[in-house]
């Protein structure tokens, strides 16, 4: 994904849309794979019990599979959010004049180490806040897990 970021910026432009697209594409595959693994790990007995009880496919998905897969899905969400900030910064490295990635590039070119540390610490704080928001949302939605 990092390798095609310049192409995305050429096709979409160097505005915020390209950064969002790069971040979304970097995030998509870890989230998709964790969701698929989580849904496949739902116990077969519970799926059969829902079918015996008369639940249709949507009811089984909504009331059995999705709640039991939420911990695995949130694992993908948490790793995806960390990758999203990385994708946004990569998008800014390649073709932006503003943002943390551009600031890191500028400070590197000017050999301004304190400015680079400020940008990196801000990036780490932003990533950590996204991660903690996902943890908080997981605690609200998945109350039965310790």
% of the chain exceeding 70 in pLDDT: 96
Answer yes or no: are the C-beta atoms of 5 and 94 closer than 8 Å. yes
Number of folded domains in the chain? 1
Residue 146 lies in a domain: no
Tokens 């950064």 -> residue: 19
Contacts made by residues 45-53, CB under 8 angstroms, sequence distance 24+: none
Range of the domain at 84: 5-141
Q: What tens digit of pLDDT does each residue of 77-106 get?
A: 999 988 888 888 887 877 767 788 888 988
Is there a domain that residue 92 lies in?
yes
- The predicted model scores a pTM of 0.79
Q: Which residues of 125-144 are buried (b: 16+ CB within 10 A; e: fewer)?
A: eebeebbeebeeebeeeeee
- Indicate the average pLDDT of the chain: 88
CATH number of the domain at 49, please: 1.10.3720.10
């Amino acid at each position: 994904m990092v390798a095609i970021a310049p192409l995305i910026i050429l096709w979409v432009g160097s505005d915020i849309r390209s950064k969002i697209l790069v971040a979304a594409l970097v995030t998509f595959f870890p989230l998709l794979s964790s969701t698929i693994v989580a849904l496949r790990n739902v116990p077969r007995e519970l799926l059969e019990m829902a079918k015996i009880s008369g639940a249709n496919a949507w009811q089984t998905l909504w009331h059995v599979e999705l709640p039991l897969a939420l911990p695995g899905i949130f694992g993908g969400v948490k790793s995806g959010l960390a990758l999203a900030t990385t994708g946004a910064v990569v998008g800014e490295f390649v073709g932006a004049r503003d943002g943390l990635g551009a600031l890191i590039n500028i400070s590197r070119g000017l050999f301004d180490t304190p400015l680079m540390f400020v940008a990196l610490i801000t990036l780490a704080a932003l990533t950590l806040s996204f991660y903690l928001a996902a943890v908080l949302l997981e605690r609200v939605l998945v109350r039965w897990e310790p």
